[in-house]
Amino acid sequence: MADKFVLCRDKVLLVVDVQNDFCPGGALPVQGGDEIIPVVNRLARIFSHVILTQDWHPRGHLSFASSHAGKKLYDSVTMPYGAQILWPDHCVPGTPGADFHPGLKTSRAELVLRKGFNRDIDSYSAFFENDHQTPTGLGGYLQERKLSRLFLAGLAADFCVLYSALDARKSGFEVYVIEDAVRGIDVDGSLAEAWRLMDEAGVIRVREAELTRE
């Protein structure tokens, strides 16, 4: 008999930001980011619901270091919604970096959600912009569809995956992160801190083998 996770009818594979700019050779590469793609592709075949997200930043986005005179990459500035790390320009619509990695198979996706398109506020989470108040609409979509169990994969584990997982828990979803289907940036220990925060929030860690074993 297949594993209990695979049998669950209300399960969703949420694939976060597997885009060229977050993979080796991109503007904001996550080390080993492309290594998760075969895992994600295999998992997509066993989930009845697959949702993809894309970072989607207009030129001049205020999360870009280039938008702040005198600031350099990875400085932190205070925005109306709180602290903001300043990133390289990335995932700008119309550029190759914003596209999904060509190795990612997207045909089973029922929804593609774009986030971070508001120039004045970043949006790490798939559920809320970084003010933690403005919804993206994903929570309402899942609730309307009565989809309550989320399995997260993608990039980066310590930013967009982390914030998506925490917001999903706050919204009442049962949340799993697939450890071998994520990679992190790890800025000043951010990856270890991300796992600590997810553990505290009740996010459950699983691996591909647990979801596919017979």
Q: Verify whether residue 115 is a known catalytic residue.
A: yes
Q: Verify whether residue 4 is a known catalytic residue.
A: no
CA distance 190 to 157: 9
In three-state secondary structure terms, 24 is coil
Cite the beta strand spans of the chain per DSSP E: 11-16, 50-55, 76-79, 82-85, 109-115, 149-155, 174-183, 204-206
CA 175 to each of CA 21, 64, 71: distance values in angstroms, whole numbers, following the listed order: 26, 30, 37
CA distance 177 to 163: 12
In three-state secondary structure terms, 19 is strand
Residue with tokens 């979509």: 141
Q: How far is CA 23 from the centre of its chain?
A: 13
From 17, 89, 122, 167, the catalytic residue: 17
Q: Verify whether residue 23 is a known catalytic residue.
A: no
From 11, 89, 91, 115, the catalytic residue: 115
Burial class (CB in 10 A: 0-12, 13-18, 19+), 200: exposed
User: CB count, 10 Å around CB of 189?
Assistant: 9
Q: Which residues pair with 82 in a beta bridge?
A: 79
* Catalytic positions: 17, 115, 160
